[in-house]
Amino acid sequence: MALISPWRADFPGILALEAEGQTYLDSAATAQKPQVLLDALLGYYATGAANVHRAQHLPGERATRAFEASRQDAAQWLNAASAEQIIFTRGTTESLNLLAYGLESQLPGDGQIVISAAEHHANLLPWQQLARRRNLELVVLPLDANGSVDLEQAAARIGPRTRLLAVTQLSNVLGRWQPLPQLLAMARAQGALSVVDGAQGAVHQRPDVQALGCDFYVCSAHKLYGPDGVGLLYGRGAALARLQHWQFGGEMVQDADYQQASFRPAPLGFEAGTPAVSAVIAFGAVLRWLGALDTNAVAAHESALHSALLSGLQARSGMRLLGAPQTALASFCIDGVHNADLAHLLSEQGIAVRAGHHCAMPLMKQLGLGGAIRVSLGLYSDGDDLQRFFAALDNALELLR
Ligand code: PMP
């Protein structure tokens, strides 16, 4: 398959894996990293590490400047109105837990929190636990056969008791864009807060949080070709002001006595303790690198590769695709074959794909499945990766059938 990625050579990790005989098709779990990330990490550590926002010495000022420049990069990447609207967290999971604690007092009893049936545990469990703490109803929006939220059913369920809507932008299992404009409009019409889980979506479509009109948007750097241990939480100004502080410690405080304290507003008020300084700085470098790519070329490559993935899968007998994936990934089961056995045989042939419930157990149960195999693509994936995958799949199926 002559689907060549012009960006593959920028990812030393993918080249190293290839040299080891590994075909990496698990980018939705975490992506490989471009050379600019390695250079930024080394550049930071090799010129002198320092804590941020505290020291008045040169290394401290330099680290703070670079750290805050990454906040500007993140704001620009998401098209946020200001860098003050970006909180650095440890990842999507922490961003969502922050919201579930920070918004607790904003969600009076008798209300509803609305999610979709396609949520990752990270965008289910924090809300489920909040609903249990506050005696709120957790409403789950059903999906259509393709795996998108059914808008008619959503309109029937989002109502005057809806206080918050939390939905994924792109499902990590079904590879399906959710109809966010319509869902967010329904939430807005009820005066409800809205949260978008962009962990997968941010990777395959540059987010524009102002155009989306959501109150909060969250994503993880490690899926976006950045370092692990860093996430973003964007909040619209008025929505951010409604957040209660949740983690307490250094740097988030305005004034402290033994018996009481007052706290800084966002973003620093929500970044207690020493942040992942090097990783945040390196993430800024990755975002600048991503921002300079030809977005049309990236979209064309991803779309051609995804079509090749889908047609190859559909050509295999007994194939059951989960939903109708639109981009970046596809999950499947094969009649009469256990997904763990298949994953094992693929792994023995150097194919790195994901098997299991993909942190979406309720969705898997609803589909009547114990698990599925997921193949997912990155910027650096190419036709040879798919060719090796399909050859290994055919070998495995021959053995298993
Ligand atoms: N939401 C979605 C849709 C995801 O795919 C993931 C990661 N698999 C998460 C949330 C959680 O992200 P993280 O593990 O980086 O916190």
Asked, for residue 160, whether it belongs to a domain, the answer is: yes
Asked, for residue 149, whether it belongs to a domain, the answer is: yes
Can you say whether the dihedral through the CA atoms of 222, 341, 331, 168 is positive or negative? negative
For residue 123 and ligand 1, the question of a CB distance below 6 A is answered with yes
Question: What is the rounded CA–CA span in Å between residue 215 and residue 5?
Answer: 36
For residue 92 and ligand 1, the question of a CB distance below 6 A is answered with yes
Q: Quick one: 240 and 307 in the same domain? A: no
pLDDT tens column, 283-310: 999 999 999 999 999 999 999 999 999 9
Domain that holds residue 188: 38-291
Ligand 1 pocket test, pick from 27, 89, 92, 196 with the greatest ligand atom count within 8 Å of Cβ, gives 92
Provide the pLDDT for residue 1. Answer: 59
CA neighbours within 13 Å on the CB side: how many for 112? 17
Return the ligand 1 atom nearest residue 220 CA. 15
Q: Mind listing the pLDDT tens digit of every residue in the chain (401 residues)?
A: 579 999 999 999 999 999 999 999 999 999 999 999 999 999 999 999 999 998 789 999 999 999 999 999 999 999 999 999 999 999 999 999 999 999 999 998 889 999 999 999 999 999 999 999 999 999 999 999 999 999 999 999 999 999 999 999 999 999 999 999 999 999 999 999 999 999 999 999 999 999 999 999 999 999 999 999 999 999 999 999 999 999 999 999 999 999 999 999 999 999 999 999 999 999 999 999 999 999 999 999 999 999 999 999 999 999 999 999 999 999 999 999 999 999 999 999 999 999 999 999 999 999 999 999 999 999 999 999 999 999 999 999 999 98
Residues identified as active-site: 359
Asked, for residue 84, whether it belongs to a domain, the answer is: yes
For residue 166 and ligand 1, the question of a CB distance below 6 A is answered with no
Asked, for residue 378, whether it belongs to a domain, the answer is: yes
- Tell me, in angstroms, the distance from the centre of ligand 1 to residue 24's CA: 18
Neighbours of 19 (CB within 10 A): 8
Return the ligand 1 atom nearest residue 170 CA. 3
Q: Quick one: 304 and 210 in the same domain? A: no
**Per residue, what are the HEC states of 248-306?**
CCCCCEEEECCCCEEECCCCHHHCCCCCCHHHHHHHHHHHHHHHCCCHHHHHHHHHHHH
Q: Quick one: 282 and 186 in the same domain? A: yes
pLDDT tens column, 66-100: 999 999 999 999 999 999 999 999 999 999 999 99
Question: What is the rounded CA–CA span in Å between residue 70 and residue 86?
Answer: 10
For residue 26 and ligand 1, the question of a CB distance below 6 A is answered with no
Domain count, the chain: 2
- Give me the CATH number covering residue 245: 3.40.640.10
- Tell me, in angstroms, the distance from the centre of ligand 1 to residue 37's CA: 21
Asked, for residue 2, whether it belongs to a domain, the answer is: no
> Of all protein residues, whose CA lies closest to atom 14 belonging to ligand 1?
93
Decide: 173 and 363 in contact? Cβ < 8 Å: yes
- Tell me, in angstroms, the distance from the centre of ligand 1 to residue 222's CA: 10
For residue 220 and ligand 1, the question of a CB distance below 6 A is answered with yes
Q: Quick one: 287 and 348 in the same domain? A: no
- Where a domain ends, among 243, 276, 291? 291
Ligand 1 pocket test, pick from 169, 220, 233, 283 with the greatest ligand atom count within 8 Å of Cβ, gives 220
For residue 143 and ligand 1, the question of a CB distance below 6 A is answered with no
DSSP state of 244: P
Q: Quick one: 16 and 81 in the same domain? A: no
- Where a domain ends, among 291, 312, 333? 291
For residue 98 and ligand 1, the question of a CB distance below 6 A is answered with no
Decide: 105 and 244 in contact? Cβ < 8 Å: yes
Return the ligand 1 atom nearest residue 93 CA. 16
Is the pTM higher than 0.95? The answer reads yes
Q: Quick one: 354 and 215 in the same domain? A: no
Interface predicted TM-score (ipTM) of this complex, two decimals: 0.99
> Of all protein residues, whose CA lies closest to atom 6 belonging to ligand 1?
199
For residue 126 and ligand 1, the question of a CB distance below 6 A is answered with no
Long-range contacts: 159-163, Cβ < 8 Å, 24+? 159/112, 159/190, 160/190, 161/110, 161/111, 161/112, 161/137, 162/111, 162/112, 162/113, 162/114, 162/187, 162/190, 162/192, 163/106, 163/107, 163/108, 163/111, 163/112, 163/113, 163/136, 163/192, 163/193
Q: Quick one: 284 and 309 in the same domain? A: no
For residue 178 and ligand 1, the question of a CB distance below 6 A is answered with no
Return the ligand 1 atom nearest residue 94 CA. 16
> Of all protein residues, whose CA lies closest to atom 12 belonging to ligand 1?
92
Q: Quick one: 248 and 320 in the same domain? A: no
Q: Quick one: 121 and 264 in the same domain? A: yes
Question: What is the rounded CA–CA span in Å between residue 3 and residue 311?
Answer: 14
Return the ligand 1 atom nearest residue 358 CA. 8
- Tell me, in angstroms, the distance from the centre of ligand 1 to residue 28's CA: 9
Question: What is the rounded CA–CA span in Å between residue 378 and residue 329?
Answer: 9
> Which residues are CB-neighbours of 292 under 8 A, at least 6 positions away?
none
Provide the pLDDT for residue 188. Answer: 98
Asked, for residue 3, whether it belongs to a domain, the answer is: no
Neighbours of 324 (CB within 10 A): 15
> Which residues are CB-neighbours of 212 under 8 A, at least 6 positions away?
180, 181, 184, 196
Return the ligand 1 atom nearest residue 171 CA. 3
For residue 172 and ligand 1, the question of a CB distance below 6 A is answered with yes
- Give me the CATH number covering residue 344: 3.90.1150.10
- Tell me, in angstroms, the distance from the centre of ligand 1 to residue 190's CA: 28
Q: Quick one: 305 and 180 in the same domain? A: no
Q: Quick one: 258 and 155 in the same domain? A: yes
- Tell me, in angstroms, the distance from the centre of ligand 1 to residue 121's CA: 8
- Where a domain ends, among 224, 257, 291? 291
For residue 197 and ligand 1, the question of a CB distance below 6 A is answered with yes
- Tell me, in angstroms, the distance from the centre of ligand 1 to residue 176's CA: 15
Q: Quick one: 82 and 27 in the same domain? A: no
For residue 198 and ligand 1, the question of a CB distance below 6 A is answered with no
- Cα 167 from chain centroid (whole Å): 12
Asked, for residue 1, whether it belongs to a domain, the answer is: no
Asked, for residue 139, whether it belongs to a domain, the answer is: yes
